[in-house]
């Protein structure tokens, strides 16, 4: 197993994801002799995990069961220990595409934070690319290094513990893309420009507040970046439900069905509404938006150095 | 394999993308070939050898010359009004007539000059507010300054271009939705990916770019052959195609039931009149209620790419053939060649069938004009457990049904039906706000993860699925148990 290469069976030392059901899961480090407690009972690593196929169902001691999943950057994002506010997969996906990342790309990132984006970037640029990530908080930088080692991707990433606004990325004329998620990105635009290859590249800055975006855009313009474009992406998730609505009783005679306005003879297999006149209801499938959704994460500003 | 850096130079035979403002167009780079883009015509000959990303000006003879960086000379003290209370629209503020402007253009006066003249001859310009002046200049620049940037194709550029110019060809798949698919599908180097798309090969190209030539892709196709018009715009190196396989959808059932044979192949692509989405954008789709500002296909006939089964044209003109024997010889040649090709295709198909039979694909990406349910129920058989899959559909309803059917089948968890909204912003000092229009629909995604399927559990999971869908809040608690 590693975050950049699928494996079929669970091995000692792997990071696996225990899936308990509906959006409830957690990562686990697989080790001989270790046990993991879940609400369905105990999982014994030596017998229940090691040597089993990823995607298998594991019966826990209380008879309940869980699935064991192969780790991916997306699953990691949903389950990682937060040391900072993190970026989620919706933003990560547009960042990856708009920065034109692919195997072989060299990327600079600051700050490393909890490593949510870092894992996704490493996955995309492997096996021949590299991530240079800068984090000014010493403990966080150290923790990130440890995680990359544990996940088998440390050869693809260099973590530097310094202030990107003062000292830059520690590399120059090497990057295809730069990503900034810091409180004052406008102070790092100059460093970003020198980190990017002479022949050009892409840059992205993530900021929650529009005032930060304005200063960043001005700085980008000042340093000669082109194609400056700010956008925001929002994820809407839908629950799939079968809804039944009552047909109102308007006092029509029961044998006269035409008055309901529904054609009860229509076959109800092709997703057409099922009309049940006995119960006086109509059934249909609906994608119901969640009660609450994320309304704002941050603005993403992209630009090109050419 | 060394990746091409963005500093690559424009070469003859490349597929390049022209950019003007927010408008893109993919064109093959060929000498002495007239290109029409954004109401201008020109030749690309002079662009050859320059670095991608260079901005050119169009000269009068339709030639391109690299734009000189001009320092904006704003030494003059700017005069501006504070509001528009005294500006009256009498239609007489511009002293230059249409004929005057045309004369300037015919003289070959630079666009910049014309804009300057327009400003000087506008009686209201000095009374406008500074913001309004900026806006006026921007608008005129756009109209009279003929500058074009030539950029290297990428998923970012091609997916933006297709969505703007020919959304019908890609089932209205917006670029942010495509970005989600690549991430949700964990598409990366080394994967063995299954792709089923009818998006002109754009989704395939996006997957190929993310895999960088490492791993393998099996493309399932309907009809006589896969459409890869957009794929060829990416300009991938040859070796990217070494591990790209294709398999006809019409053979999936026989492969799953074990009755597969290569004896009855679908007919050759060239025998097949693919009416829609022909690979050169010449057949324009009937777009309902879409006001096209100009008639330009997204891509001009793309540069041919080393594909074994690309069309070959045989022009046999009876009058050119002097002897009958000659002709018969030629006919025999043709027949033999046809047989060779047929044999070659069968061999490939057998190999691809073997790859599918391993049932260990690392992911499945579906984005097609077909109903997703039957595709998913069959194609998921080829995917290994604990792997992501993503299905795109322009409409929500088919995905609702697909969701239900997948629950009944079992073997999948973490099913999610989602959509993304994209909002662009204008960011200018004291004038920042969301852009006035945003796209209404970029399609929907259904994603999930495969797990080992217990054959005996199909019935109970069905029951569970039904429970899941009961809308009463009491039932919602049930979801938290198992999936």
Q: What is the DSSP string of B200-220?
A: TTHHHHHHHHHHTT-SEEEEE
Where does the pLDDT of residue B77 fall: very low under 50, low under 70, confident under 90, or very high at 90 and above? low
What domains appear along chain A, each with residue ranges and CATH number?
9-71 (3.10.330.20), 76-233+297-305 (3.40.50.150)
Q: How confident is the model at residue A118 (pLDDT cuts 50, 70, 90)?
A: very high
Measured between CA atoms, the residue of chain B closest to residue A98 is B156
Q: Name which of B213, B427, B438 to mutate to probe chain A: the one with the most chain A Cβ atoms within 10 A of its Cβ.
A: B427
HEC letters along A219-282? HHHHCCCEEEEEEEEEEEEEEEEEEEEECCCCCCCCCCHHHHCCCCCCCCCCCCCEEECCCCEE
| Residue from B271, B173, B265, B190 nearest B221 by CA | B265
| CB contacts, 8 Å: A21 with chain B | 413, 479-483
Name the residue facing B480 among A8, A24, A127 (closest C-beta).
A24
- The partner residue sitting opposite A229, judged by closest CB among B190, B209, B424, is B424
Residue B453's closest CA among B391, B400, B404, B384? Answer: B384
Selection from A240, A235, A249 nearest residue A284 by Cα: A240
Paired tokens of B271: 């025998």
Task: For residue B168, give the nearest of B198, B125, B190, B189 by alpha carbon.
Answer: B198
Q: What is the pTM of this model?
A: 0.86
Tokens of A110: 């600051």
Q: So what's the pLDDT on residue A212?
A: 98
pLDDT of B128: 87
Of B182, B214, B401, the CB nearest to A127: B214
Between A65-79, B288-302, B408-422, the lowest mean confidence (pLDDT) is in: B288-302
> Would you place residue B64 in the very low, low, confident or very high pLDDT band (cuts 50, 70, 90)?
confident
For residue A26, what is the enclosing H or E element?
strand A24-29
pLDDT of residue B470: 39
Q: What is the mean pLDDT of residues A145-169?
A: 97
CA dihedral A153, A156, A162, A168 (to 10 degrees): -150
Q: How far is CA B191 from the centre of its chain?
A: 22
Cβ–Cβ below 8 Å for A21 and B5: no
Q: Return the CATH number of B9-69, one of 1.10.10, 3.40.50, 3.10.330, 1.10.375.
A: 3.10.330
Q: How many helices (H) and strands (E) does chain A have?
A: 7, 15
**Tokens 């490593």 found at:** A115
Q: Which residue of A has its CA nearest to B433?
A: A210
What does the CA dihedral B139, B141, B143, B148 come to, rounded to 10 degrees?
A: -130
Please tell me the predicted confidence (pLDDT) of residue B299. 61
Phi (first) and psi of residue B371, to 5 degrees: -65, 130
Reply yes or no on whether the pLDDT at B271 is more than 90.
Answer: no
Q: Answer yes or no: do A22 and B450 touch at CB < 8 A.
A: no
Question: What's the mean pLDDT in A100-105?
Answer: 98
Q: How many Å is the Cα radius of gyration of chain B?
A: 28
- The answer, for A260 touching chain B at a CB cutoff of 8 Å, is no
Average pLDDT over residues A8-15: 95
Closest CA to A216 of A98, A295, A297, A300: A300
CB A27 within 8 A of CB A71: yes
- Could you report the per-residue pLDDT of A16-60, keeping only the tens digit for each? 999 998 889 999 999 999 999 999 999 999 999 999 999 999 999
End-to-end CA distance of chain B: 43
Q: What is the mean pLDDT of chain B?
A: 82
- Of B401 and B477, the structure prediction assigns the larger pLDDT to B401
Give the chain A residue whose CA is nearest to the CA of B401.
Answer: A271
Cα B479 to Cα B483: distance, rounded to the nearest angstrom: 7
Mutate to test the interface with B, among A55, A119, A212, A243 (most CBs of B within 10 A): A55
Asked if A306 is an interface residue toward chain B (Cβ–Cβ < 8 A), one would say yes
- Three-state SS for A11? coil
Among residues A176, A178, A198, the alpha carbon closest in space to that of A189 is found at A178
Q: Which residue among A8, A94, A236 places its CB closest to the CB of B179?
A: A94
C-beta neighbour count of A187 within 10 angstroms: 17
CB B400 within 8 A of CB A287: yes
| pLDDT over 60 (residue B317) | no
CB contact under 8 A, A64 and B482: yes
User: Can you spell out the DSSP letters for B424-476?
Assistant: EEE--TT--EE-S---S---EEEEEEE-PPPGGGHHHHHHHHHHHT--SHHHH
Binding site listing of A for S-adenosyl-L-methionine: 114-117, 135, 163, 181
* Closest by CA position to B192, among listed A206, A202, A8: A8
Q: What is the mean pLDDT of chain A?
A: 92
Q: Which residues of chain A make contact with B155, given a CB cutoff of 8 A?
A: 97, 100
Q: What tens digit of pLDDT does each residue of B159-212 get?
A: 999 999 999 999 999 999 999 999 999 999 999 999 999 999 999 999 999 999
Distance from C-alpha of A269 to C-alpha of A274, rounded to nearest angstrom: 9
What gap in Å lies between CA A305 and CA A257, rounded to an integer?
A: 68
Average pLDDT score over residue span A55-82: 95
pLDDT at A251: 87
Check CB contact under 8 Å for B427 and A69. no
Name the minimum distance, in Å, from the CA of B444 to any CA of chain A.
10
Asked if A57 and A49 touch (Cβ cutoff 8 Å), the reply is: no
Q: How far is A189 from chain B, CA to nearest CA, in Å?
A: 17
Q: What is the helix, strand, coil percentage profile of chain B, to 5? A: 35, 20, 45
Query: Is pLDDT of B309 > 50?
Result: no
Of the listed ranges B13-22, B78-87, B474-483, the one predicted with least confidence = B474-483
Taking an 8 Å cut-off on Cβ atoms, the answer to whether A231 and B404 are in contact is: no
Residue A65 near chain B (CB below 8 Å): yes
Q: Is B366 exposed, middle or buried (0-12, 13-18, 19+ CB in 10 A)?
A: buried
For residue A291, pLDDT beyond 50: yes
CB atoms within 10 A of CB B482: 19
Residue B212 to residue A228, Cβ atoms within 8 A: no
Contacts of A105 in chain B (CB under 8 A): 3
- CA B254 to chain A, closest CA, distance in angstroms equals 25
- Residue in chain B lying closest to A285 (CA): B400
**Residues in chain B, how many?**
483
Minimum distance, in Å, between the CA of residue A256 and any CA atom of chain B: 30
Inter-chain contact A97–B396, Cβ cutoff 8 Å? Answer: no
CA distance B255 to chain A (A): 24
Q: Which residues of B touch A74 (CB under 8 A)?
A: 183-184, 186, 388
Chain B hits for A120, CB-CB cut-off 8 Å, are: 183
* Residue ranges of E strands in A124-225: 130-134, 157-160, 177-180, 201-207
Nearest alpha-carbon partner for B158 in B302, B330, B44: B302
Cβ–Cβ of A54/B5 closer than 8 Å?
Answer: no
Of B188, B386, B471, the CB nearest to A55: B386
Checking if the pLDDT of B301 tops 90, the result is no
Using a CB-CB cut-off of 8 Å, the residues of chain A touching B174 are: none
CA separation for the pair A14, A3 (Å, rounded):
10
Question: What chain B residue is nearest to A213 in terms of C-alpha separation?
Answer: B427
To 5 degrees, how large is the angle CA B85–CA B90–CA B92? 120
B219-252 pLDDT, tens digit each: 999 999 999 999 999 999 999 999 999 999 999 9
Q: Kindly report, as residue ranges, where domains of CATH 3.40.50.150 are found in chain B.
A: 155-260+343-450
Nearest residue in chain A measured CA to CA from B435: A231
Q: Mind telling me how many Å the CA of B28 is from chain A's nearest CA?
A: 21
Find chain B residues with C-beta within 8 A of A237's C-beta.
416-418
Compute the nearest-CA separation of A303 from chain B (Å): 13
CATH class of the domain at B155-260+343-450: alpha beta
Pairs across A and B, CB distance < 8 A: 217
Chain B residue with Cα closest to A269: B401
Q: A236 and B154: CB-CB below 8 Å? A: no
């Amino acid at each position: 197993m590693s975050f950049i290469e699928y494996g079929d069976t669970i091995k000692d030392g792997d990071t696996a994801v225990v899936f308990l059901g509906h959006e409830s899961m957690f990562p686990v480090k697989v080790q001989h002799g270790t046990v993991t407690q879940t609400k369905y009972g105990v999982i014994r690593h030596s017998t229940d995990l090691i040597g089993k196929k990823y995607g298998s169902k594991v019966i826990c001691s209380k008879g309940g069961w869980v699935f064991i999943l192969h780790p991916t950057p997306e699953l990691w994002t949903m389950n990682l220990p937060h040391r900072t506010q993190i970026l989620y997969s919706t933003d990560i996906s547009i960042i990856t595409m708009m920065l034109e990342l692919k195997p072989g790309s060299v990327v600079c990132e600051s700050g490393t934070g909890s490593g949510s984006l870092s894992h996704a970037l490493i996955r995309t640029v492997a096996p021949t690319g590299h991530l240079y990530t800068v984090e000014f908080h010493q403990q966080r930088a150290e923790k990130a290094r440890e995680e990359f080692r544990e996940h088998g991707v440390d050869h693809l990433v260099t973590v530097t513990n310094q202030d990107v606004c003062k000292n830059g990325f520690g590399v120059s004329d090497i990057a295809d893309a730069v990503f900034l998620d810091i409180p004052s990105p406008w102070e790092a635009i100059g460093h970003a420009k020198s980190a990017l290859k002479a022949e050009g590249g892409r840059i992205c800055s993530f900021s929650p507040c529009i005032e930060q975006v304005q200063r960043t855009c001005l700085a980008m313009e000042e340093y000669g970046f082109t194609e400056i474009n700010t956008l925001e992406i929002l994820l809407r998730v839908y629950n799939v439900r079968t809804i039944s609505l009552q047909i109102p009783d308007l006092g029509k005679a029961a044998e006269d069905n035409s008055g309901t306005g529904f054609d009860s003879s229509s076959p109800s297999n092709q997703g057409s509404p099922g009309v049940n006149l006995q119960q006086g209801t109509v059934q249909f499938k609906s994608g119901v938006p969640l009660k609450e959704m994320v309304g704002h994460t941050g603005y993403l500003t992209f630009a090109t150095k050419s | 394999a060394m990746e091409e850096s963005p500093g690559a130079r424009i070469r003859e035979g490349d597929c390049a993308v022209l950019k003007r403002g927010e408008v893109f167009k993919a064109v093959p780079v060929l000498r002495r070939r007239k290109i029409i883009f954004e109401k201008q015509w020109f030749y690309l000959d002079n662009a050859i050898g320059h670095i991608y990303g260079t901005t050119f000006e169009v000269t009068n003879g339709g030639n391109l010359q690299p734009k000189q960086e001009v320092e904006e000379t704003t030494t003059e003290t700017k005069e501006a009004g504070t509001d528009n209370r005294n500006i009256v629209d009498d239609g007489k503020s511009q002293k230059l007539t249409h004929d005057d402007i045309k004369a300037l253009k015919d003289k070959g006066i630079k666009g910049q000059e014309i804009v300057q003249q327009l400003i000087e001859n506008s009686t209201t310009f000095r009374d406008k507010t500074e913001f309004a002046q900026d806006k006026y200049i921007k608008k005129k620049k756009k109209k009279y300054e003929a500058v074009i940037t030539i950029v290297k194709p990428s998923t970012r550029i091609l997916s933006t271009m297709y969505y703007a110019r020919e959304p019908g060809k890609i089932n209205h798949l917006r670029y942010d939705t495509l970005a989600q698919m690549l991430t949700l599908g964990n598409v990366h180097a080394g994967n063995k990916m299954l792709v089923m798309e009818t998006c002109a090969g754009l989704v395939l190209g996006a997957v190929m770019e993310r895999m960088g030539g490492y791993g393998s892709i099996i493309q399932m196709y309907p009809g006589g052959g896969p459409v890869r018009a957009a794929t060829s715009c990416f300009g991938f190196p040859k070796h990217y195609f070494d591990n790209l396989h294709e398999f006809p959808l019409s053979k999936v059932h026989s492969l799953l039931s074990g009755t597969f044979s290569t004896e009855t192949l679908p007919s050759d692509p060239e025998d097949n009149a693919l009416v829609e989405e022909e690979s050169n954008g010449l057949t324009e789709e009937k777009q309902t209620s879409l006001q096209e500002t100009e008639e330009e296909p997204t891509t001009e006939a793309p540069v041919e790419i080393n594909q074994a089964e690309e069309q070959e044209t045989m022009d046999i003109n009876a009058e050119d053939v002097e002897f009958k024997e000659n002709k018969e010889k030629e006919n025999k040649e043709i027949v033999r060649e046809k047989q060779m090709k047929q044999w070659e295709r069968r061999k490939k198909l057998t190999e691809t069938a073997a790859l599918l039979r391993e049932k260990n694909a690392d992911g499945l990406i579906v984005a097609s004009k077909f109903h997703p349910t039957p595709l998913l129920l069959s194609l998921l058989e080829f995917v290994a457990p604990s792997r992501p899959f993503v299905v795109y559909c322009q409409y929500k309803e088919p995905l609702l049904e697909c969701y239900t059917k997948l629950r009944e089948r079992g073997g999948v968890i973490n099913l999610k039906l989602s959509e993304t909204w994209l909002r662009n912003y204008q960011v200018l000092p004291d004038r920042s706000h969301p852009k006035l229009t945003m796209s209404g629909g970029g399609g929907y995604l259904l994603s999930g993860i495969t797990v080992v399927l217990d054959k005996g559990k199909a019935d109970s999971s069905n029951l569970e699925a039904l429970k899941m869908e009961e809308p009463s809040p009491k039932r919602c608690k049930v979801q938290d148990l198992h999936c």
